Amino acid sequence: MNSNNFDMNSPVNRRRFFLTGGFAIATTTLLAACSKDIQSPKGAFPRIGAVPPTTGLPNAAPTDEALLRTATSLEFNAIDTYTKVLGLGLFTGSAAGTAAVVSRFKADHEAHAKALSGIITEAKGETFECANAQINKLYINPALDLILGNKEAGIAPSDTPLDDVMALALGLETLAAETYQFYVSLLSQPKLRAAAMGIGEQESRHSALLAQAINPGVDGIGPSTNKTTGKPNPAAVPGAFGSLATVSVILGKPNEAGNKTTLNMETPSLNSMAYEYAKCS
């Protein structure tokens, strides 16, 4: 607290000081009385109950290899998700052309994963050719439950599954683009940063194309807000370059108020990375 703003001559401040001081003295006296009934080793804090033992994760650092393995895992998240949604039979009628775009995106992610694995192998590292389990757990599985429904969890399927699949695809592509953008600042070697920038550029193009498919025309170019939900509309250029903001995906069956569920995605945190000790199950 700034001492210049604290006037002890003020009766209000004196009263507050004495009240606080009195409370502290009373509390200290009470704790001292209670401590007589608690038996604990000298110099130790008293403990009630037993704490179960825990096993910590191995020590690891976000090395170049760990970053590239994590990026590869995100590519497999996208590959697996696109494989699943293509098998749902949603892309029919006027949406048939969208299936070709999604298939192309899937092929791009397969090429990205292959390129990243090649870089890791060239550096004598161990590849990680499977989806990131944490990203599945935190984002993709909950999103698919909201789209397809989950009876055991009491989640009803979406009324607009195709729209929600497109929203999820946009979220995944935006998340991938942000991840590569972030990793450019972490990778130590220029050639690795160049590779990340090249792949990240393609992810951004995917994101822009999906945003235009969802919100076409001039209104879908720059940032705007949905007047009904108050949420940001999909935009080909959602904000200033360099933003690593949370990616919000709106999907699922509307609640009683008419609002769908908002799922917030973030770039992989330290406990979501594919460190050298991580293995594909």
Q: The domain spanning residue 187 has which CATH number?
A: 1.20.1260.10
Assess whether pLDDT exceeds 70 at residue 184. yes
Confidence band for 17, pLDDT divided at 50, 70 and 90: very low
Give the per-residue pLDDT at 57.
56
Domain contains 242: yes
User: Is 113 within a domain?
Assistant: yes
| The one-letter amino acid at 70 | T
Residue 11: per-residue pLDDT? 43
Q: Is the pLDDT of residue 69 over 70?
A: yes
Residue of 275 and 39 predicted with greater confidence: 275
For 196, the domain range is: 64-272
Q: Return the structure tokens found at 20.
A: 């606080």
Q: Which of 189, 147, 167, 130 is nearest to 265 (CA)?
A: 167
- Tokens 């945003």 identify what position? 211
Output DSSP code: residue 234.
P
- Is pLDDT above 70 for 143? yes
Domain count of the fold of the chain: 1
For 147-156, 225-234, 261-270, which range has the lowest pLDDT when averaged over its residues?
225-234
Question: pLDDT > 90: what percent of the chain?
Answer: 63
Residue 182 lies in a domain: yes
Mean pLDDT for 123-142 is 97
Indicate left, alpha or beta for 107 from its phi (over 0: left) and psi (-120 to 50: alpha): alpha
- Alpha carbon distance 273, 204 (integer Å): 21
- Contact at 8 Å (CB) between 243 and 161? no
Contact 77, 168 (CB under 8 A): no
Mean pLDDT of 150-159: 96
DSSP string, 173-202: HHHHHHHHHHHHTT--SHHHHHHHHHHHHH
Residue 54: inside a domain: no
Distance of CA 236 to the CA centre of its chain: 20
Is residue 86 in some structural domain? yes
Question: How far is it, in rounded angstroms, from Cα 170 to Cα 183?
Answer: 20
Lowest mean pLDDT among 46-50, 147-151, 168-172, 277-281: 46-50
Q: 122 with 191: CB under 8 angstroms?
A: no
Residue 269: partners with Cβ closer than 8 Å, 6 or more residues away: none
Confidence of residue 250 (pLDDT cuts 50, 70, 90): very high
At 42-54, the pLDDT tens digits run: 555 555 566 666 6
Q: Is 43 part of a structural domain of the chain?
A: no
Domain-embedded: residue 189: yes
Average pLDDT, the chain: 83
pLDDT of residue 56: 57
Judged against a pLDDT cut of 80, whether residue 277 lies above it is answered with yes
Q: Going by C-beta distance under 8 Å and a sequence separation of 6 or more, which residues neighbour residue 88?
A: 148, 161, 165
The answer to whether residue 226 sits within a structural domain is yes
pLDDT at 133: 96
For residue 58, pLDDT over 90 is answered with no
In the structure encoding, which two tokens stand for residue 135, read together? Answer: 């990203």
Judged against a pLDDT cut of 80, whether residue 4 lies above it is answered with no
Q: Which helix (H) or strand (E) holds 263?
A: strand 261-265
Q: What is the pLDDT of residue 114?
A: 98
Question: Contact, 146 vs 164, CB < 8 A?
Answer: yes
| 184, 200 contact by CB (below 8 A) | yes
